[in-house]
């Protein structure tokens, strides 16, 4: 009887999805899409910064494939429900705006961004989409949207297929002013020093098993005191790391200057190189082939990938091995020291310092002018 109930429930859910799709398609016209619509349903996708950057890269791949110039993004969130995301019980209609302010700036790193929408009811979004379906090709597709699969399904397989066909992966881009600001910030705050940006994770609310090994990182930072020209700019929230990171003279926190996620990503991109436990901002460099990095504890977001084309310990197809180390192993002080010393030796530090020295300080203060 239990098995029959499961079969009945499965068939019922499938029939509901198919029924909604039939009603959907009866009310639309099918024409050649002129824009991509990325649908970020907060109920199923939450506020993961890394996942949202991977999602936007997927939209860029889709735009290239369809020869579409503009990408619109629709945030969908049923704000009438107090509990916004069942997997994130701390997220509710009261603190939604605080969390959304962290995610929102990431739309600006999409070089093909068109319009951005926020729908506070599912019905409003679905009416909007149905009325404009001839304008859009969506990701996820209507079927996967209605099935509640989230916006991240199949993304890495799509990246691999795109790269195999085209020989590159389209990259997210920081604005000209964001890059200019980061260079000026580094010049103003760390003159004559080599800045390595760092992201560490200490989130006890969501998958705490992914948190950084702070014993290893503390030993590593202490070791690096032997390099007086090297400073570490930590991009993580200071409060999150309170009591976990030892205060050392080579450690600084970007959040002490009130940086946004967009500014932190610009600092990441324009630092000498980046080090992290794989989470959050790490998605920007490991989806690029140009940003030097050392990232530990990598795991693909789709579990089945480890059983197919991306076995444990392998490299991503678009990875640039001389300057990019995507490590599947957990961090240890020995591993961090080894990879740090190797990358510090191999990078052209004089060329990086020359770029920093050319930065103009005008962009740091209102009205934020670029020289």
pLDDT of 306: 61
With H, G, I as helix, E, B as strand and everything else as coil, classify residue 276.
strand
State which of 137, 166, 195 marks the end of a domain. Answer: 166
Tell whether 229 is covered by a domain. yes
Does any domain span residue 335?
yes
Decide if 369 is inside a domain: no
Let me know if residue 370 belongs to a domain.
Answer: no
Comparing CA positions, the residue from 44, 9, 346, 356 lying closest to residue 188 is 356
Task: For residue range 320-335, list pLDDT tens digits in order.
Answer: 988 999 999 999 999 9
Segment 26-74, tens digit of pLDDT: 555 455 568 999 999 888 888 889 999 999 999 999 999 999 999 999 9
Furthest-apart CA pair in the chain: how many Å?
74
Q: Is 298 found in the same domain as 356? A: yes
- Going across the sheet that includes 293-296, the strands are 251-253, 230-234, 194-199, 273-277, 293-296, 324-326
73 and 41 in contact (C-beta within 8 Å)? no
Quote the mean pLDDT of the chain. Answer: 87
**What pLDDT score does 32 carry?**
54
Confidence (pLDDT) at 21: 60
For the chain, list residues with pLDDT below 70. 1-33, 82-83, 204-209, 303-307
Q: Which residues, in sequence order, are bridge partners of residue 324?
A: 293
Task: Tell me, yes or no, whether 143 and 223 share the same domain.
Answer: no
Best CA proximity match to 248, nearest among 211, 277, 220: 220
> Which residue range(s) make up the domain with 320?
176-364
Q: How many domains does the chain have?
A: 2
- 264 and 340 together in one domain: yes
């Amino acid at each position: 009887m239990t098995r029959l109930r499961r079969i009945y429930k499965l068939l019922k859910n499938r029939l509901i999805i198919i029924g909604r799709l039939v009603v959907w398609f009866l009310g639309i016209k099918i024409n050649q899409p002129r824009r991509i619509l990325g649908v970020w349903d907060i109920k199923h996708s939450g506020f993961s910064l890394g996942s949202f950057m991977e999602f936007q890269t997927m939209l860029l791949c889709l735009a290239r494939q369809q020869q579409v110039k503009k990408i619109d993004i629709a945030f969908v969130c049923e704000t009438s429900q107090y509990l916004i995301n069942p997997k994130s019980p701390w997220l509710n209609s009261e603190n939604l705006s605080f969390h959304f302010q962290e995610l929102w700036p990431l739309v600006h790193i999409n070089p093909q961004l068109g319009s951005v929408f926020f729908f506070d009811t599912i019905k409003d979004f679905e009416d909007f989409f149905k009325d404009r379906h001839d304008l859009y090709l969506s990701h996820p597709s209507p079927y996967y949207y209605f099935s509640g699969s989230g916006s991240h399904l199949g993304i890495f397989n799509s990246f691999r297929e795109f790269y195999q066909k085209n020989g590159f992966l389209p990259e997210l881009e920081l604005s000209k002013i964001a890059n200019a600001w980061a260079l000026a910030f580094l010049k103003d705050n760390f003159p004559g020093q080599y800045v390595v940006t760092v992201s560490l994770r200490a989130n006890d609310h969501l998958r705490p098993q992914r948190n950084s090994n702070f014993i290893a990182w503390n030993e590593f930072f202490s070791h690096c005191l032997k390099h007086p020209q090297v400073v570490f700019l930590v991009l993580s929230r200071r409060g999150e790391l309170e009591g976990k990171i030892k205060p050392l003279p080579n450690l600084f926190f970007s959040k002490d200057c009130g940086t946004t996620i967009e500014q932190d990503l610009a600092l990441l991109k324009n630092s000498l190189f980046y080090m992290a436990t794989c989470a959050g901002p790490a998605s920007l460099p490991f989806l690029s082939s140009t940003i030097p990095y050392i990232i530990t504890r990598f795991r693909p977001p789709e579990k089945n990938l480890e059983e197919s084309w991306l076995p444990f310990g392998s490299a991503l197809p678009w990875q640039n091995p001389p300057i990019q180390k995507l490590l599947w192993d957990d961090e240890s002080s020995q591993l961090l020291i080894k990879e740090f010393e190797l990358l510090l030796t191999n990078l052209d530090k004089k060329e990086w310092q020359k770029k920093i020295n050319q930065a103009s300080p005008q962009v740091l203060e209102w009205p934020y002018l670029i020289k």
